Structure 1
């Protein structure tokens, strides 16, 4: 192995904060967590509005669209957030 290849192999990658790459990986956050939390929060607002809102649902065959879509969005947000949390925990363990 040449001296140049050996130097490249032992080179540490610096992060903008000045630490090495191994320290920076402890501070990673998945974008799926942010997206899941945002969708879940919007879904929660829709769900609550569907519960307490006084709206005429005659146009939607008397189906409370806000309630059901809000519930669906909350469940999807929880699934994304939990999946992101599990994914980041698994990648740290490896």
Structure 2
């Protein structure tokens, strides 16, 4: 199984970013909640950053897997044992 590590990591960051962005949108007008961060809605902004980062990683991993699926496997010499997982 040739799973690119960017795919599950991208899904994890995308999921976390979606949760943080949703929370930031729902609590956007709450002044007391964001008083410690100088009024900056950190949940919204960092959620968007994680969302973009996660989607980028996921899409790059998918592109890499599609490219590898198109390439033929390397030939095995006669008498050579194919190694791998």
Shared fold (TM-score greater than 0.5)? yes
Structure 1 consecutive aligned stretches of length 4 or more whose deviation exceeds 3 Å: none
**Alignment partner of 1:66 out of 32, 43, 50:** 43
Give unpaired runs (5+ residues) of structure 1. Answer: 1-26
- Give the TM-score of the pair, scaled to structure 2: 0.73
**Structure with the larger RCO, 1 or 2 (CA within 8 Å, 6+ apart):** 2
- Return the alpha-carbon distance in structure 2 between the equivalents of residues 42 and 59 of structure 1: 22
Aligned residues, how many? 68
What is the RMSD of the two structures over their aligned residues, measured on CA atoms? 1.4
Please list, as runs of the form range in 1=range in 2, the aligned pairs for 1:38-49 lying within 5 A after superposition. 38-49=12-23
Q: Which has the higher helix share?
A: 1
Larger radius of gyration: 1
After TM superposition, give the deviation of residue 36 of structure 1 in Å.
Answer: 0.5
SS of 1:58's equivalent in the other structure is coil
Give unpaired runs (5+ residues) of structure 2. Answer: 72-85
